[in-house]
Each structure stands twice: as structure tokens, then as C-alpha cells.
């Protein structure tokens, strides 16, 4: 298990306090700068490892940045704190963005990021909770995160910790039946402490979702399953932070975050081949310039 | 000298449905430990959880007919400090949600207690879709998951208690087909250690679950012929008691395994993999009794006999292995 990076955790804590002090415009600028730093880390990790899922990493980065910097009630120096909010990245193939975010938050040293997918690294291609603090459950096969999140939300109700639970799914992942089992259970049990986020980048590994096994109208489907649905721009920090607010109806909340796969780097954006393509040295240089 | 041989199925002894002992023990523990929750897939009745629901309505999570969600919910509950007993008919619990058991329970190391109700061919005439004879094979391939097959009521209670005292990812086969009690008074379960119910040097009978009482009857029958059989109750399929099998190979003339499961990957395969890796002069004759194909229509007793899972068949196999067949 990796160790907390105390100085990084302190820096995160100070950053978080600063977000509370500034107006929304400045807050969003600070978060955007932080998200660019995460994306730069991801570029380095994936080019170093020679593999990864850069498109989905970039579509989910702003969601992760908003949650870890401005929403989740967490303490990276106490990853086992019983009353912490829970976060599950169900789309576990986007581990690079998660690891970069967790390191930025102080769960472990940023130096560790260079080991991404190296032999015996804690930073496997898909996250392992027994190696990486801040990871709540092992994901990778799709359709696993939301059922676990339902269980965590039920536990929070039973124990009265007041913890909230967030799970982020890819949109292609919503083709998995287990998600719809969990959506039924979440609504049935009135889990108003649970938020399911769909990273709606409209692309899956081989093609557009709507050309594969169409999801639209996703918002109406989620609403029909009994969830309080919020459709937002998944790259607008104010909109995300508002959408991550508590339920107003007593039902669990589903956030459809409309995103761009590959967001932030022009030649990667919205291109199906960049699901898991690896940038060349020249492309790395260009990408880092665009993310400066 | 034996004057009346026991019947081949041990039917002269009172027999019991282990699900009742399971439910009673779970409720008793839940009264003093509020971390205990039960999770089920509409199987409140068939998992014997009706009383639990009435006594602890908030701690019975029925997710409906949705086994993948059920196991994931169990993992979430465990990750938040609860002790979830996830109860469902064994074939659906293990087959439908195998990937959840792999990723969310075993690999994640969330201490979920998976309770496979009515395993083996307990559902007799309902057929292979409802039989759970693949579970031992599937689950034995998952590191970090204990597999417990209680042979009787006392072992069922002990398995439930152990799961609460030391929560870890565990699968418990909770038998529905009625069996006699076989556990000696005052015995304890030592994790990963088989229970030796009888000693002998001529042959070792390794049985699990339903087959343990039948192996004991077989040992009586063999004794009447002058063959002394060691009987091991393989209640812990994982961790597996390698030492007990090595000792059996060293100290007795052969090994017969018997399980209400497919031999491709179950108890028999586990024993064979231990014996097969011993030095040549330590290897002994083996016979593996269990299923090799989908069952035809029939009651549980009929099917056990059909697949040679009776005391008489164990005796015949023992004779062959011991060179007396």
C-alpha cells in the first residue's frame, strides 16, 4: 500500500481552502489550471508506459478535479476515515486520470506516477484498492462500480455516518445490465446520499455509442428509473459542482456530464481511435503545449 | 462384529436441513452485532431469512432478482464496515455473478460472506440450471476466497460464527438436502484444516458436505470387510489442507474423494493436484467420485445414486484403489 504524501496533502488542503475564499469565476480558473496539470501528468504517464486510455482519461478529468478539489468530504491523510465520502471510478480503465488526481490530492507521492504500469508498480492499468489509498474498490470490468456504490450508500444510511457516495461510469458502460439493476435498487431504497455520474462522451472503444447500442435518451431513461437527473456540461466546473450538490427530492441523483472524449488536446478530441492510442514524441510535445 | 449394516445413505439417523441452523445462528449473532446485514435476491423464503427480516427489517437488503447487483451491494456494505451475508440459491449466486465475486469480493478483498443456499443437486428434478455443481470449480480458481462446505448443523453454525469473528471473503455452501450430524461433540473448525472423523491405514476417504455421512457409512462397511479407512471431512475447500492429503498419501494405501459437485476442478481435482505433484514413490491410487455431466431428471437421492455418490459406490471405489476390487 502506498503511503500518504503529507506535504502534498497539505497543499491540497490549502488549495481547497482557497477555493472557498474566491468567487466562482476565479474558482473555476483555479480548477481548470489544476485539471490541465492532471492532463499533463496523464500524457507523461501514458507515453511513459506506452499504453493507456487517454481519450476517456481526458473526458473524465474535469469531473475528477471538481469532486476531489471541491466536493468530496475526504482526508487524504486518513484514507480509512469511517465517515469519508466514497468515490468509485467504475470506468477503471481511466486509471491514469484517477492516479494523477489522487497524487495531486496527497494520497501518495507524485513521484509514483512515473511507475504507471511498470512491472510490480502499485499503479496497475486498473485500480487496486489494496495497493492504492483513495481507491475504494477494484474496477476494470465494466458495470461493477454502481452496485458497490449502492451498497456503500445503504451502509452509510444504516450507520448514520452522513457519508455521500459518488460513482462515475463511462457512457458505453451503461450498456452493461448490472448498472440498470443497481439503478433500480438505488431508487427503490431512496438513496438520496448517492450520486451516479455518467461521463457522456458519446464514444466507446470501437465507435460512437449511438452507432453501437444507442443510449439516448439517457436522461429520460434515468428519470424513468426514479433518479433525480441533472444534465450538465461536463467541462464547466460551476455546473459540475452544482450538479454534485445533494438530492432535492429524496431520490438518488444521476448526473449526465456531457463531455468531449480527449478534451483539452485538439488532435485527440472526439476521435474514436484515441480511446487507447499512445501519443508519439512529437504529439506529446504538442499536447503539453496545448495543456500549458 | 457388525450385525446390522447401516443403510447406504445413513437414513437410519435423524437428518436435518442446514439452512435452519444457518438462519438461527445468523439471527443470534445479529442480536449482539449490528454490523451484520443480510442481502438477498428475492430469496427471503428459500434462504430462510423470514424471521431475520421480521426481527431486523432494516438489515435485510432485498435487491430483487438481480444477482450481479446483489454481490456488488454486498461488497459496498463490507467496504463500509458491515458484515454482509449475501444469500441466494447457490447456482445463481455463483454463476450469474461470478465476475462480481472475482473482482468485487476476492480481488478487492471486501469481506463479503457469500452464502450459497441449496447447493449441489438439492433442487433435484428442477434440473441442471438449478444445480450448483460447478461452484467449487469456479471459486477454487479465485485467490483470497475461503470456500467452506459444512457437513452438518454444527459446522454450519461454526462457519457463520467464524465469518463474524474474522470477516474475510468467504463462500459458504449451506445445504438443503437433509443430512445427519457427523461432527463430534466439542470439535472446532481450524481454518484450512480438514477434520479427521476416523483413522485407518488401508485407504483414505475424503468427502465434503453431503458426502461426509456417506463416507462414514462406507468406512463402517469397509471395516466389516477388514479394510480400515481414514475419513477426512474436507469442509474447507479453500484454503485447502495440503498437509492432510500428503499425509494420507504417505500413510494410507490410496485415496477416494466424494463430492456433490463436478470433479473437474472441485475437491477431487484439488486432491489429484496435490498427489500428482508428490515424488513418484509417494503417489497413491486415486478415485474421484462426483459429476462429469449434466444431470438427468430425478430427485436428489436418485441423482446421488445415479452419479455413484453413495456409501456402496464409495466402498466399491475403495476396494479398487486398495487393490481388493
Give me the interface pTM, i.e. the ipTM. Answer: 0.96
Q: Quote the minimal CA–CA distance from B48 to chain A in Å.
A: 22
Cell of A50: 506506452
Task: Tell me the pLDDT of chain A averaged across its residues.
Answer: 98
Cα distance between residue B319 and residue B314, in whole Å? 9
* Cα–Cα separations (whole angstroms), residue B241 to A114, B191, B291: 42, 9, 22
What CA–CA distance (Å, rounded) separates B41 from B71? 10
Domain that holds residue A56: 6-290
Residue written as grid cell 471510478: A89
One digit per residue, the tens of pLDDT, for chain B of length 325 reads: 333 334 444 557 899 999 999 999 999 999 999 999 999 999 898 888 999 999 999 999 999 999 999 999 999 999 999 999 999 999 999 999 999 999 999 999 999 999 999 999 999 999 999 999 999 999 999 999 999 999 999 999 999 999 999 999 999 999 999 999 999 989 999 999 999 999 999 999 999 999 999 999 999 999 999 999 999 999 999 999 999 999 999 999 999 999 999 999 999 999 999 999 999 888 999 999 999 999 999 999 999 999 999 999 999 999 999 876 4
What is the predicted pLDDT for the residue at B6?
A: 44
Q: How far apart are CA A98 and CA A116, in angstroms?
A: 12
- For residue B59, the chain A residues in CB contact (below 8 A) are 158
Q: What is the pLDDT of residue B324?
A: 60
The whole-angstrom separation of Cα B231 and Cα B219 is 7
A147 near B CB under 8 A:
yes
Task: Please indicate whether, in this complex, the C-beta atoms of B100 and A138 are within 8 angstroms of each other.
Answer: no
Averaged pLDDT, A168-193: 98
B65: closest chain A residue by CA: A181
Chain B residues with CB under 8 Å of A152 CB are 76-77, 79-80
Please judge whether A148 and B104 are an interchain contact, meaning their C-beta atoms are less than 8 angstroms apart.
yes
- Which chain B residues touch A156 with a CB distance below 8 Å? 80
- Look at A154 and B58 and tell me if their CB atoms are within 8 Å: no
From B207, B209, B139, B150, select the one nearest B22 (Cα to Cα): B150
Is the CB of A46 inside 8 Å of chain B's CB atoms?
A: no
Pick among B73, B102, B168 to test the A interface (most A CBs inside 10 A): B73
Of B37, B84, B99, the CB nearest to A141: B99
For residues B47 and B43, give the distance between their C-alpha atoms in angstroms, rounded to a whole number. 6
Whole-number pLDDT of residue B13: 86
Q: How confident is the model at residue A230 (pLDDT cuts 50, 70, 90)?
A: very high
Residue from B56, B66, B67, B76 whose CB has the most chain A CBs within 10 Å, to mutate: B76
pTM over 0.80: yes
Contact A68, A37 (CB under 8 A): no
Nearest by CB: A148 against B37, B75, B82: B75
- Picking from B3, B86, B107, the residue whose alpha carbon sits closest to that of residue B38 is B86
Q: How many angstroms separate the CA atoms of B34 and B20, rounded?
A: 21
What whole-number distance in Å separates Cα of residue B167 and Cα of residue B79? Answer: 11
A80 touches chain B (CB under 8 A): no
Is CATH 3.40.50.920 what the domain over B195-321 is classified as, yes or no?
A: yes
If you measure CA to CA, which chain A residue comes closest to B111?
A137
Burial B137-146 (b: 16+ CB within 10 A, else e): bbbbebeebb
In this structure, the number of other CB atoms found within 10 A of the CB of residue B228 comes to: 17
Contact at CB, B79 and A149, closer than 8 angstroms: no
> Is residue A145 domain-resident?
yes
A177 vs B contacts (CB less than 8 Å): 68
Confidence (pLDDT) at B47: 86
pLDDT value of position B4? 37
Nearest to A262 by CA among A217, A202, A206, A214: A202
Q: Are B131 and B307 in contact (CB under 8 A)?
A: no
CA angle B158, B162, B166 (to 5 degrees): 175
CA distance linking residue B268 with residue B97, whole number of Å:
24
Domain with CATH 3.40.50.970 in chain B: 18-174
The whole-angstrom separation of Cα B117 and Cα A104 is 46
**Could you tell me whether strands B113-117 and B146-148 are parallel, antiparallel, or unpaired per DSSP bridges?**
unpaired
The count of structural domains within chain A is 1
Grid cell locating B186: 466439542
Measured between alpha carbons, how far is B235 from B241 in angstroms, rounded to an integer? Answer: 10
Which residues in A lie closer than 8 A to residue B108 (C-beta atoms)?
Answer: 129-130, 137-138
Distance (Å, whole) CA B139 – CA B135: 6
Measured CA to CA in angstroms, residue A190 lies from A193, A241, B56 at distances of: 9, 22, 19
- To the nearest whole Å, the CA of B73 is away from the closest chain A CA by 4
pLDDT at A216: 98
Among all residues of chain A, which has the CA nearest to that of B97?
A: A178
Asked if the C-beta of A82 comes within 8 angstroms of chain B's C-beta atoms, the answer is yes
Which CATH number does the domain housing residue A175 bear? 3.40.50.970
Asked whether the beta carbons of residue B80 and residue A152 sit closer than 8 angstroms, the reply is yes
Residues of chain B with CATH 3.40.50.920: 195-321
The reply to whether residue A141 touches residue B69, judged by beta carbons under 8 angstroms, is: no
Contact A138 B77 (CB under 8 A): no
Q: Which residues of A touch B82 (CB under 8 A)?
A: 155, 158-159
- Closest-approach residue (CA) in chain B for A137: B108
Give me the pLDDT at residue B11, please: 53
Strand-pair partners of A200 = A258
Q: What chain B residue is nearest to A87 in terms of C-alpha separation?
A: B76
**Hey, which bits of chain A come out as E strands?**
86-89, 165-170, 194-200, 228-233, 253-258
Residues of A with CB below 8 A from B77's CB? 151-152, 154-155
A1 in a domain, yes or no? Answer: no
Burial (CB count <10 Å: 0-12, 13-18, 19+), residue B266:
buried
B contact set with A (CB within 8 A): 37, 39, 58-59, 61, 63-64, 66, 68-82, 84, 99-100, 103-104, 107-110
Cβ separation B72–A154 shorter than 8 A: no
In chain B, residues with a C-beta closer than 8 Å to the C-beta of A144 are: 72, 99-100, 103-104
Could you give the CA distance from residue B241 to residue B158 in angstroms, rounded to a whole number? 18
Q: Which CATH class is domain B18-174?
A: alpha beta
Mean pLDDT of A153-167: 97
Residue B45, C-beta contacts closer than 8 angstroms, at least 6 positions apart: none
Amino acid at each position: 500500500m502506498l503511503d500518504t504524501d503529507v506535504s502534498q496533502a497539505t497543499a491540497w488542503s490549502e488549495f481547497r481552502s482557497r477555493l472557498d475564499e474566491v468567487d466562482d469565476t476565479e474558482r473555476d480558473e483555479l480548477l481548470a489550471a489544476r485539471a490541465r496539470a492532471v492532463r499533463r501528468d496523464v500524457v507523461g504517464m501514458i507515453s511513459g508506459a506506452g499504453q493507456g486510455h487517454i481519450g476517456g482519461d481526458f473526458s473524465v478529468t474535469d469531473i475528477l478535479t471538481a469532486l476531489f478539489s471541491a466536493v468530496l468530504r475526504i482526508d487524504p491523510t486518513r484514507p480509512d476515515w469511517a465517515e469519508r465520502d466514497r468515490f468509485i471510478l467504475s470506468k477503471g480503465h481511466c486509471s491514469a486520470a484517477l492516479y494523477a488526481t489522487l497524487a495531486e490530492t496527497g494520497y501518495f507521492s507524485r513521484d509514483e506516477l512515473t511507475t504507471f504500469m511498470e512491472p510490480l508498480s502499485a499503479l496497475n492499468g486498473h485500480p487496486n484498492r489494496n495497493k492504492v489509498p483513495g481507491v475504494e474498490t477494484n474496477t476494470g470490468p465494466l458495470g461493477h462500480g454502481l452496485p458497490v456504490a449502492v451498497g456503500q450508500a445503504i451502509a452509510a444510511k444504516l450507520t448514520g455516518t452522513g457519508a455521500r457516495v459518488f460513482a462515475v461510469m463511462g457512457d458505453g458502460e451503461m450498456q452493461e445490465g448490472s448498472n440498470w439493476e443497481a439503478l433500480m435498487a438505488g431508487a427503490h431504497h431512496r438513496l438520496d446520499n448517492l450520486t451516479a455520474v455518467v461521463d457522456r462522451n458519446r464514444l466507446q472503444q470501437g465507435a460512437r455509442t449511438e452507432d453501437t447500442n444507442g443510449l439516448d435518451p439517457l436522461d429520460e431513461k434515468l428519470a424513468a428509473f426514479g433518479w433525480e437527473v441533472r444534465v450538465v456540461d461536463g467541462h464547466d466546473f460551476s455546473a459540475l459542482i452544482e450538479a454534485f450538490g445533494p438530492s432535492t427530492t429524496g431520490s438518488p441523483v444521476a448526473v449526465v456530464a456531457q463531455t468531449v472524449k480527449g478534451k483539452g488536446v485538439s488532435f485527440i478530441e472526439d476521435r474514436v481511435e484515441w480511446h487507447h492510442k499512445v501519443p508519439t514524441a512529437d504529439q506529446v510535445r504538442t499536447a503539453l503545449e496545448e495543456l500549458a | 462384529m457388525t450385525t446390522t449394516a447401516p443403510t447406504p445413505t445413513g437414513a437410519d439417523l435423524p437428518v436435518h436441513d442446514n439452512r435452519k441452523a444457518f438462519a438461527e445462528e445468523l439471527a443470534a449473532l445479529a442480536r449482539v452485532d449490528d454490523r451484520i446485514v443480510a442481502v438477498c435476491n428475492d430469496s427471503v423464503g428459500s434462504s430462510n431469512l423470514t424471521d431475520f427480516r421480521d426481527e431486523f427489517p432494516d438489515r435485510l437488503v432485498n435487491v430483487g432478482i438481480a444477482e450481479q447487483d446483489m454481490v456488488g451491494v454486498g461488497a459496498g456494505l463490507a467496504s463500509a464496515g458491515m458484515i454482509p451475508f449475501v444469500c441466494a440459491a447457490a447456482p445463481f449466486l455463483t454463476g450469474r455473478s461470478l465476475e462480481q465475486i472475482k473482482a468485487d469480493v476476492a480481488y478487492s478483498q471486501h469481506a463479503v460472506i457469500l452464502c450459497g443456499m441449496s447447493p449441489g443437486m438439492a433442487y433435484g428434478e428442477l434440473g441442471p440450471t438449478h444445480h450448483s455443481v460447478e461452484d467449487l470449480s469456479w471459486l477454487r480458481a479465485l485467490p483470497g476466497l475461503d470456500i467452506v462446505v459444512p457437513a452438518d448443523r454444527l459446522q454450519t453454525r461454526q462457519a457463520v460464527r467464524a465469518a463474524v469473528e474474522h470477516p474475510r471473503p468467504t463462500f459458504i455452501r449451506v445445504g438443503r438436502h437433509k443430512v445427519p450430524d457427523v461432527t463430534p461433540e466439542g470439535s472446532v473448525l481450524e481454518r484450512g484444516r480438514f477434520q479427521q472423523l476416523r483413522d485407518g491405514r488401508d485407504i483414505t476417504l475424503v468427502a465434503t458436505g453431503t458426502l461426509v455421512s456417506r463416507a462414514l457409512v462406507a468406512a463402517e462397511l469397509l471395516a466389516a470387510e477388514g479394510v480400515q479407512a481414514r475419513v477426512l471431512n474436507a469442509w474447507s475447500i479453500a484454503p485447502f489442507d495440503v498437509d492432510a492429503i500428503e499425509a494420507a498419501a504417505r500413510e494410507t494405501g490410496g485415496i477416494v474423494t466424494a463430492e456433490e459437485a463436478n470433479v473437474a476442478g472441485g475437491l477431487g481435482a484439488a486432491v489429484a493436484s496435490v498427489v500428482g505433484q508428490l515424488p513418484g514413490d509417494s503417489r497413491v491410487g486415486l478415485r474421484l467420485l462426483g459429476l462429469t455431466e449434466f444431470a438427468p431428471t430425478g430427485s436428489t437421492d436418485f441423482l446421488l445414486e445415479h452419479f455413484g455418490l453413495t456409501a456402496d459406490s464409495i466402498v466399491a471405489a475403495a476396494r479398487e484403489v486398495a487393490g481388493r476390487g
